[in-house]
Amino acid sequence: MSVADAAWLPPLAWRVIGSRRIRVTGSGPLVETVVDELRQACARFGGEVVRRVDGIPCDLELSLDGDTALGPEGYELSSAGGRTRLRAARPHGLLHGLFHLVRLGGAPATGTYRPAMPRRMLDHWDNVDVHPVMGQVERGYAGGSLFWRAGVARRDWPRVTAYARLLASCGVNAVALNNVNVHATEAHLLTDRLGEVAELAAVFRRYGIRTHLSVSFAAPVLHGLETADPLDERVRRWWATTTAQVYAAIPDFGGYLVKADSEGQPGPFTYGRSHADGANLLAEALAPYGGVVHWRAFVYDHRQDWRDRSVDRARAAFDHFTPHDGAFRVNVVLQVKHGPLDFQAREPVSPLIAAMPATRVAVEFQITQEYTGQQKHVCYLAPMWSELLRGVNGPAIIDSAAELVAVANTGDDPYWTGHPLAQANLYAFGRLGWDPGLDPAAVLDEWASLTFPGVPHEALHAIMDDSWRTYERYTAPLGVGFMVRPGHHYGPDVDGYEYTPWGTYHHADRDGVGVDRTVATGTACAGLYPQPWTRIYESPDECPDELALFFHHLPYGHVLRSGSTVIQHIYDTHFAGAREAAEMRERWADLAGTMPPAKYERVRELLDEQVRSAEEWRDQINSYFFRKSGVPDAKGRRIY
Amino acid sequence: MSVADAAWLPPLAWRVIGSRRIRVTGSGPLVETVVDELRQACARFGGEVVRRVDGIPCDLELSLDGDTALGPEGYELSSAGGRTRLRAARPHGLLHGLFHLVRLGGAPATGTYRPAMPRRMLDHWDNVDVHPVMGQVERGYAGGSLFWRAGVARRDWPRVTAYARLLASCGVNAVALNNVNVHATEAHLLTDRLGEVAELAAVFRRYGIRTHLSVSFAAPVLHGLETADPLDERVRRWWATTTAQVYAAIPDFGGYLVKADSEGQPGPFTYGRSHADGANLLAEALAPYGGVVHWRAFVYDHRQDWRDRSVDRARAAFDHFTPHDGAFRVNVVLQVKHGPLDFQAREPVSPLIAAMPATRVAVEFQITQEYTGQQKHVCYLAPMWSELLRGVNGPAIIDSAAELVAVANTGDDPYWTGHPLAQANLYAFGRLGWDPGLDPAAVLDEWASLTFPGVPHEALHAIMDDSWRTYERYTAPLGVGFMVRPGHHYGPDVDGYEYTPWGTYHHADRDGVGVDRTVATGTACAGLYPQPWTRIYESPDECPDELALFFHHLPYGHVLRSGSTVIQHIYDTHFAGAREAAEMRERWADLAGTMPPAKYERVRELLDEQVRSAEEWRDQINSYFFRKSGVPDAKGRRIY
């Protein structure tokens, strides 16, 4: 199986483009990419591409004469008399429109399309070297890096090209090529290793994707300066000079991504400066070239005393950053994780997102399944992202965020994402960034048609549509989060983080469980939201069940909005979740023979592991709460 | 500070030997070592060594004319008229006697001395390469290996010589030079890397210490054979040939140490053969040369289902090995960890030790403080070993074991053991192997006099004598064990192993805690001991409090032999243990100015960490059991 066949957009998908007479007008590198794509389709399926305007009518016309209101990436599709027309104001629009036509698979096309989020960015947590604990891709579950191997650029250009094409086809238009935890080797990508970055950037540029780098705030020190103080003139000059050299090598370089003063990374706090000072330093260096700083808001005390219940990690980013709203330069993007803790399967939206009206905010999702089954479990994340974007259980992200960013789930695995079905999350991220209103099930149909041509969608929907909720059911209950094995974060350990400095607790005792984050008696995190959410979260009766234990410490006998008690809800959802995992495996068996055997087998084996793991979660969580509460299961099922 | 000054036997200790006229008769390499030691002392402190018999009387006479009943290592000391005489039948006896005289510090010497255990062996868990997770020395807390660096023999001969001398001086006479978990590189020490081992063996030989190697049971396969089946003729020939080559290079080679079918290591089970088949294969190869196989009995299912309470890891070695008693060749030594689990601060003695009357048994202690504070905590282990050897809470090890083995706690740290006070454990191991009847406090005096000349012993006794019990008080209660952070095993995590496949559980629920190992209602582990111990362990009223939760699941309100309830015992010991750690720190402050400042500071800093860690243990254990039991502390102290 070729790499191209292992993901969506296999050669066969281009049949709908080939066999036709196609005219392309306009020029520039991205237009040439469009023409190349079309010519390859025609070479395989017949048809021809013409570049000049002549009198002969075409089946498909792509032209750069669209309304400038379409913006740099928008396009307009129209069909009449068996002819299809794609118009854009800029070449990037033609590229997006082309992939749209492929997605349509020949169905008639009409309408105007513009992205909701102007930047849809993928952060790769790839290390150039293999980290002794984290491996090469931090929180990566799909093999090694696509970009780096054995300490240098891997230079597997066909593979990187195929990857850039996949990303462009779902709408991603920016990538960061190295881990936000910047180690010693990776700090030199910015300077003496810049040539390797430029080579990669050239490949991504062909598909309209701009390249960014994660940088260390201590980079000046790592390069021989005695300080990295953002207010030091020598430091400003160092960043200005360094940035000028970056743009000399990569004229469309996107900018810097920075994790500062977080989990041991250096930052402006070292010098008694604020995060605004730190971010503005880099923004100033980038401004002349149109570059941006993505400054991560993931700042909290990871040496917290678990005994001190007045400290709340869920407030940390809010408390750190809201005083600086308005103090950031316009080319600073504050990059905020979607939840206030850390990419849990269920969290409220981060209160910081809606609290920075004078700052450009990007919201960060995690496609790589660190806390959602590590690409051993099927967990289709689009429904979660869709709820967060649209605001089902809290303020809508689309009301505040200007960009969407995600941590990539890809690697050099033949299926790109380890679990073949995890590809759908990458695809859906790009699509939802373009249009947050898309129905996750419709996105799944798009991806499935492109990926499993000829496979009936029914079984895929049965397995994937509700898989995030299934995962939620058999893991940490009612929004309380964590309960994972410390360090690697796979599998259950209810107390794994309970007495640690990481700030992620559940406070279970023999009477109840959950974190009191109310204004009345707790850490007041519930009070950081706009109304009506502060009122809703504050009330144990109004708070959505999904977030009940995130905001409240509740007795085991407390009756939820569902009518169930907390303890019976725990038992019921855990038995249900494990049963649903087993049902997924049964449904997958229906698909034997509909796809290449290796792909079928890969998923089948992973479903075995998912079923095993779901049962382990079920039994550990149920046993833990039964041993603690002493309340038997109302249905008398086996608890250990 | 020189390496020699960093441990016991600093140059000053030899003053008692110098300044005298000394006659040595006899010959051979070990006698020359003795003469060298004496000449160095005389060169520094005056005096002379004569080798011929003349008429002139000497202050000190060492002669090889002792009674052969003294055995290969024994010696006889006598004093009369200001003259001291040391006689031995064999050169090794002279060496031991010489160190005895140094220990005496000039006090008169009389008596006959022979070791209780003919072999006192140190196992080094050193890797030649640095392991990505375990580091270079597995469970090592004293820096890198003394023997290996950057993938090859380190060849720091002065340091290795100083080390061999230290070991000989406390009675160690055998070493294994590499980790029992044999990785790919280390498997070649036996063959193409043998030259490096021979160089090291030559240094240890100078001090009467024989060199052993850990070998992989799969070594034939790693060297190109298609099988390692112990009954395959090609495999037998491979071991015979390989062993012949080893002895050609190292004529006094001690033998092989094997961890087979344990925690992922290969073994005879792979081929459907028994451990007797496996051990005898190697024993047969070694027999012509007088070598032995140390075959570790640490065999258990490390993929246990925590839900299945019928499986008991504490029975595993007993169940595996007792059927094979009598089936091992005479040069097989079954090496049994002292407790049935894994080097916990408190366990009963392993039932296997007394259950193999027809097999040579070595008991294995762990000097490296994996579960006893990792050389960050003061934990003088001699009282524990003494109790186990003499049989205070169970059958005496000295009644059954023929050898004593221990996992080393040394490395390239300037103080050899990380924590300077951890040296005492190494010293005491050698001394107790020679004479299990020694009083641990007296051994501490010996060590302290040699190590801290001029420092009053009172503070050291106050800090160290009871430090093992202090450590026990603030960690897992009443013999239940574990409750450590999985993986690295430092610091508390009560449920860390509770739902894992490792077989180490405490079964705490809201009503009680402990593992039912009774014959009546549990796993019947209590029934594996000789009487009266089976009767004692079986009864919750007779069982020693120290082992109460090892053998019984008890309600929190159960009244112990001490008169306290289980829950109040937990609270009381944890408050007491943490307070005692703080008192240790205060006592150490008394010693400021009595020793080199760097050594004083090293211990002071480590005591800060011990106090912090002890408080963390106190608060986590107390909070865990308070949250679970709901029983308040009778003394109203702060529990979180």
pLDDT tens digit string along B98-148?
999 999 888 888 999 999 999 999 999 999 999 888 899 999 999 999 999
CB-based contact, A630 to chain B, within 8 Å: yes
Q: Using a CB–CB cutoff of 8 Å, tell me whether B615 touches chain A.
A: no
How many whole angstroms separate alpha carbon B364 and alpha carbon B381?
A: 13
User: What is the reported pLDDT for A624?
Assistant: 98
One-letter identity of residue A418: G
Q: What are the φ/ψ torsions at residue B149 (nearest 5 degrees)?
A: -155, 140
What six digits make up the tokens of A511? 């009477």
The tokens of B46 are what?
């005056």
DSSP bridge partners of A419: none
Which of chain B's residues have a Cβ under 8 Å away from the Cβ of A487?
Answer: 487
Contact by Cβ (8 Å): B200, B160: yes
Here the tokens at position A300 are 């909290």
* Pairwise CB contact (< 8 Å): B492 & A499: yes
Pick from B311, B482, B495, B626 the residue to mutate for testing the A interface (most A CBs within 10 Å). Answer: B495
Interface A-B, measured as beta-carbon pairs within 8 A, has a size of: 68
The residue ranges of chain A whose pLDDT is under 70 are: 1, 4
A627 near B CB under 8 A: yes
Q: List chain B residues with CB under 8 Å of A628.
A: 509-510, 627-628
Contacts of A52 (CB under 8 A, 6+ apart): none
Predicted confidence at residue A1, as pLDDT, reads: 52
Contact A495 B494 (CB under 8 A): yes
Question: Which chain A residue's Cα is nearest to B628?
Answer: A510
Asked if B494 is an interface residue toward chain A (Cβ–Cβ < 8 A), one would say yes
Which helix (H) or strand (E) segment holds residue B334: the answer is: strand B332-337
Closest CA to A503 of A269, A317, A371: A317
What the block records as the tokens of A481 is 């989060």
Query: Which residue of A lies nearest to B309 if distances are taken between CA atoms?
Result: A640
Q: Considering only alpha carbons, which residue of chain A is nearest residue B631?
A: A510
**How far is residue B159 CA from its own chain's centroid?**
21
Give the bridge partners for A416, in sequence order.
none
Spatial distance between the Cα atoms of A175 and A147, rounded to a whole number of angstroms:
12
| Bond into B532 cis (ω within 30) | yes
Chain B partners of A484 at a C-beta cutoff of 8 Å? Answer: none
Which residues of A fall within a CB distance of 8 Å from B616? Answer: 499
What does the pLDDT look like over B418-468, one tens digit per residue?
Answer: 999 999 999 999 999 999 999 999 999 999 999 998 899 999 999 999 999
Alpha carbon distance A146, A411 (integer Å): 5
Do residues B508 and B625 make contact, with C-beta atoms less than 8 angstroms apart?
yes
Report d(CA A588, CA A236) in Å as an integer. Answer: 57
Is the pLDDT reported for residue B574 higher than 60?
Answer: yes
Give the pLDDT score at B4.
63
Residue A25 buriedness (CB in 10 A; 0-12 / 13-18 / 19+): middle
Q: Which of A133, A494, A630 sits opposite B510 (nearest CB)?
A: A630
Q: Are B514 and B506 in contact (CB under 8 A)?
A: yes
Question: What positions of B carry a catalytic annotation?
Answer: 263, 342, 370
Q: Which of B307, B496, B630 lies at the smallest CB-CB distance from A640?
A: B307
Nearest CA in chain A to B513: A627
Query: Residue A494: which of B485, B495, B616 has the nearest Cβ?
Result: B495
CB A415 within 8 A of CB A144: no
Residue B390 pLDDT > 90: yes
Tell whether A601 is within 8 A of chain B (Cβ). Answer: no
Helix, strand or coil, per DSSP, at residue B545:
helix
Position B56 confidence tier, pLDDT thresholds 50, 70, 90: confident
| Distance (Å) from the alpha carbon of B319 to chain A's nearest alpha carbon | 26
Q: For residue A66, give Cα distances in angstroms to A38, A87, A434.
A: 20, 5, 19
- Residues B508, A627: C-beta atoms closer than 8 Å: yes
What are B266's two structure tokens? 């290969």
Token pair in block for residue A100: 């749209």
CB-based contact, B289 to chain A, within 8 Å: no
- Are the C-beta atoms of residues B124 and B179 closer than 8 Å to each other? yes
Q: Do A628 and B630 touch (CB under 8 A)?
A: no
Q: Which pLDDT belongs to residue A4?
A: 63
Q: Contact A499/B132, CB-based, under 8 Å?
A: no
Cα distance between residue A248 and residue A23, in whole Å: 35
Q: Which candidate from B485, B496, B630 shows the least CB-CB separation from A510? A: B630
Q: Of A132, A509, A623, which is closest to B627 when you measure between CB atoms?
A: A509
The stretch B45-74 carries a mean pLDDT of: 91
CB distance from B620 to chain A under 8 Å?
A: yes
| SS3 category, B269 | helix
Complex ipTM = 0.89
Instruction: Check CB contact under 8 Å for A499 and B508.
Output: no
The amino acid occupying position A62 is: L
Nearest CA in chain B to A309: B640
Residues B300 and B262 sit within 8 Å (Cβ to Cβ): yes
Average the pLDDT over each of A274-278, B129-133, B150-154, B253-257 and give the range with the smallest value.
Answer: B129-133
Which residues of A are less than 8 Å from B485 in CB distance? Answer: 486
By annotation, the residues of A acting in catalysis are 263, 342, 370
Q: What angle is formed at CA A564 by the lines to CA A563 and CA A570, rounded to 5 degrees?
A: 150
Does B310 reach chain A within 8 Å, measured CB to CB?
Answer: no
Neighbours of A483 (CB within 10 A): 24
Q: What is the DSSP string of B550-597?
A: HH--EETTPBPTTS-BHHHHHHHHHHHHHHHHHHHHHHHHTTTTSS-H
